[in-house]
Amino acid sequence: MAKKRTTLRLWVQAGWFALTNGYAKGFLEGKIYKGATKFVCVPGLNCYSCPGALGSCPIGSLQAVLDSGKFRFSCYVFGFLMLFGALMGRFVCGWLCPFGLVQDLLHKIPLFHKKKNLPGHQWLKYLKYVVLVLFVILLPMTVVGITGMGDPWFCKYICPSGTLFGGVPLLLSNPTLRSAIGWLFSWKMFLLVLIVVLSIKYYRPFCKYLCPLGAVYGLFNPVALYRLTVDQDKCVHCKGCQQVCKMDIPVWEKPNSVECIRCGDCKTFCPTGAIHSTLEQLRVKPYGGIEAEKGGENK
């Protein structure tokens, strides 16, 4: 059952990636898509400089608006972040993000003794909020040149998704771009390789410690339409849910933790069937009513 769910999740992740990065010509010719669908932000960390990308990365878009010198706040991008967040919170991370998929696949490689968390996890998990505030918002807005424009600091100095899905394929297929490589590319490749190697041993280190998009969506987990609930009458506090949870969440206490990526492993595992999602609870009853939420919804 758990295996079935993991396979389903991998297929959904891969299918969503193919659907939102379906401009095959871009990969062949070393170009990017220039159509009007790029107005729209996709939910995951999906670089708009990926040759196949049909939509825009919300974190890249947020920096583009804030570093333009024209706006102090982005209604548009915060609107998209709020829309995806209020609908599903970090369900995006578990099911709809290309860089989440990459880390899931890397963790399947049978190398190293697998561990959930990096040493210092307790503190490191807050780093993603620093990255969000500093690299995505403050630095792009405040460090500006004579034109009044700033840099997209997160994209430029950190984002491994941009290096992997944008940089690598474009540089492989476009000799002009290749000739412009310098120290910045070396730095970004170093970061990417580090994250790749760490992802083989640890589960999703980038999502846990660095991703500003996961940090935003996590804040919506407790209030999103899609939530988890624990039926306290059924829960026997065996703590098995935390053992199977690769994000290491004590689900019986905090089913809507900001760290939960909504993979569903805990729900599948629970021996007493105490964990439910709000989707199941919205199932329409035969007489036309809607089932009420059962049990306590701990946070």
Partner 1 sequence: MKNRTKQTVPLLLIALSLLLIGAGTVRGEAQLVLTKAINICMECIGIG
Tokens of 161: 């998704």
Report in angstroms how near the CB of residue 41 gets to partner 1 at its nearest.
Answer: 7
Mark 278-297 with x for binding to partner 1 (rule: CB under 8 A) and - for no binding. Answer: --------------xx---x
Amino acid in the structure at residue 65: V
Contacts with partner 1 in 157-186 (CB under 8 A)? 159, 162-163, 166-167, 170-171, 177, 180-182, 184-185
Closest CB to partner 1 among residues 188, 204: 188
Task: Please report whether residue 114 would count as binding partner 1 according to CB under 8 A.
Answer: no
CA distance linking residue 67 with residue 142, whole number of Å: 8
Tokens 């919804």 correspond to 297
Rounded distance between C-alpha atoms, residue 274 and residue 55, angstroms? 38
- Both tokens of residue 41? 């932000």
Closest CA to 29 of 156, 176, 164: 176
Contacts with partner 1: how many residues (CB under 8 A)?
Answer: 62
Query: What's the Cα-to-Cα distance from 145 to each of 97, 152, 202, rounded to whole Å?
Result: 33, 13, 39
Binding mask 209-238 for ligand SF4 (x = CB under 6 A): --x-xx------------------------
**Alpha helices, DSSP H, located in 113-269:** 121-124, 127-130, 139-142, 153-157, 160-161, 168-173, 175-178, 183-201, 205-209, 212-220, 240-244, 265-269
Q: In this structure, how many other beta carbons lie within 10 angstroms of the beta carbon of residue 298?
A: 16
Which listed residue (16, 23, 48, 252) binds partner 1 by CB under 8 A? 48
Write out the binding residues for ligand SF4, residues 40-59 only, by CB under 6 A: 44-45, 47-49, 57, 59
Please report, as ranges, the residues that interact with ligand SF4 according to CB under 6 A. Answer: 44-45, 47-49, 57, 59-60, 93, 97, 99-100, 154-155, 159, 161-162, 166, 206-207, 211, 213-214, 245, 247, 249, 251, 260-266
Binding site residues, partner 1, CB under 8 A: 32-36, 38-39, 41, 47-49, 53, 55-56, 60-61, 64-65, 68, 70-71, 74-83, 85-87, 151-152, 155-156, 159, 162-163, 166-167, 170-171, 177, 180-182, 184-185, 187-189, 220, 223-225, 227, 292-293, 297
